[in-house]
Structure 1
Amino acid sequence: MKNIFYTLFIGLFFSFSNAQTIVDMAGKRQNEHYENGTYYIKDINNYMLPYLGTWKYVDGNKEFRITLTKVTKHHVVYTDYNINHYIDGLRIQYQKYENGQLIYNSIVRQNPTGIIKEFRKLNMSFTDYERNNEIFPVDLLLIPLNNMGTPQYKLKFKLDKFERRNTYYEQHPNEPYFSVPDNIEMIKMN
């Protein structure tokens, strides 16, 4: 009987010591939410759900696709900056096709990105792997197609080239700034 109480006490102690406080990703966050590993910044309202899947943009015989997948409770730790928290995020991968043939398939970043502060507005980072692995902010905005039945959306894909330096472009000024199309509207494939 003594062992049962001891086991229950130890179990309760560890469950309370590892408890996390859930913070709404769409809400206001404080500095302490990032610091001690006890906070989980969660997509409580499932605002990321409509983004999931593969989106495409077609321009003549060229096609650009992005695939967004959700990662839940990703542990973010940067001890040098006193950052230690859990967060939901999205991973992005892109492909380029010409005449129906795959010509480029990017890697999938291990660390998800993405901040949703309100429904249909997502900010995340995008790496232009074909240029110089430079990371650029991208805004992904859902545009409603209809109000009847299951919601359907187009996706506005807009890169912010003023946020970071693009050393590839500086060395090749006659080429496009990005290796992917920018400021486009995409349709969902699945």
Structure 2
Amino acid sequence: MKKILILMVVIMGYNATYGQQVKDLRYFYTDKNKYNPSSLSVTRIYYKDINNYFTPFLGQWKSTTGNQTFVVTLWKETQRPTEENGDIVFYCDKIFGHYQIFVDYGLSTQSLLYTSQINIGSTTQSWDTVILGKVVQPNKLSGSIQDVVGPNQNPDFPQGVEGNLSMTIISGTLPLTANWKIIRSSGMRRSNQPRVFTIPTNVILTKI
């Protein structure tokens, strides 16, 4: 009985010191204290997709140019931790994604030209995601994307070309459509670092 009481006290103490505060994801960019160093008395904030703004984006989208079709798959990851110095400082809902480029999509001659689900450089580890985004207001996703396909497969730069991604759903469309835009991330680059995107950077996507 004594051991049970001790265990209960430990569990209660853990829950008290590692509490969690759930906040609407729209506060993610305005909160200034989310990166404060954690301690045993800090409450971890969980930035949650309370209003289900993620929902319209989840699933598959496509855009066809000529005989090539670009297909994007997006899914939701809930309560993903962000760490600093080995300690979790907050949690956040995020959108992850991968993409593929097909030739003759939907036809008997269909073939896969590129896929982002490849190994990272010369390792045996594959990309968990190449798209990382959030939706803090209705119908607008913002985030980052890594173009790891095509001529961008340089062993010195396995991340390919990094870009800032925006995807805005066009209201009143059926099936649902969205503006997909990518701008190359700023910063210094080495002479052999990939600079040109293989994937589309400014197209209208249609939800499949």
Q: Which TM class, normalised by the smaller chain length?
A: 0.7 to 0.9
> CA 1:105–1:165 in structure 2 vs 1: closer, same or farther (change >3 Å)?
farther
Q: Does residue 1:186 correspond to 2:190, yes or no?
A: no
| Runs of 5+ consecutive residues of structure 1 not aligned to the other structure | 170-176
8 Å CA contact 1:140–1:155 kept in 2: the answer is yes
Give the C-alpha shift of residue 6 in structure 1.
Answer: 3.8
SS of the equivalent of 1:69 reads: strand
Moved more, 89-98 or 158-167: 158-167
Give the C-alpha shift of residue 74 in structure 1.
Answer: 1.0
C-alpha distance in 1 between matches for 2:172 and 2:188: 35
SS of the equivalent of 1:168 reads: coil
Identity in percent:
25
> How big is each residue's C-alpha offset from its partner over 1:127-161, in whole Å with a ceiling of 9 and x where there is no partner?
01122512211101111235xxxx85212110013
C-alpha distance in 1 between matches for 2:130 and 2:200: 23
SS of the equivalent of 1:40 reads: strand
Give the C-alpha shift of residue 113 in structure 1.
Answer: 2.4
When normalised by structure 1's length, the TM-score is: 0.80
> CA 1:10–1:24 in structure 2 vs 1: closer, same or farther (change >3 Å)?
same
1:30-49 equivalences under 5 Å are 30-35=31-36, 36=38, 38-49=44-55
- Specify which structure has the higher proportion of helix: 1
Give the C-alpha shift of residue 87 in structure 1.
Answer: 1.1
Report the AA paired with residue 49 of structure 2. Answer: D
Q: Which residue of 2 aligns with 1:9?
A: 9
Give the C-alpha shift of residue 31 in structure 1.
Answer: 2.5
Q: Does residue 1:163 correspond to 2:190, yes or no?
A: no
SS of the equivalent of 2:194 reads: helix
When normalised by structure 2's length, the TM-score is: 0.74
1:1-190 equivalences under 5 Å are 5-27=5-27, 29-35=30-36, 36=38, 38-79=44-85, 84-99=89-104, 100-107=110-117, 108-110=127-129, 113-130=132-149, 131=152, 133-146=160-173, 153-161=176-184, 163=186, 167-169=193-195, 177-189=196-208
| Runs of 5+ consecutive residues of structure 2 not aligned to the other structure | 105-109, 118-126
SS of the equivalent of 2:184 reads: coil
8 Å CA contact 1:74–1:89 kept in 2: the answer is yes
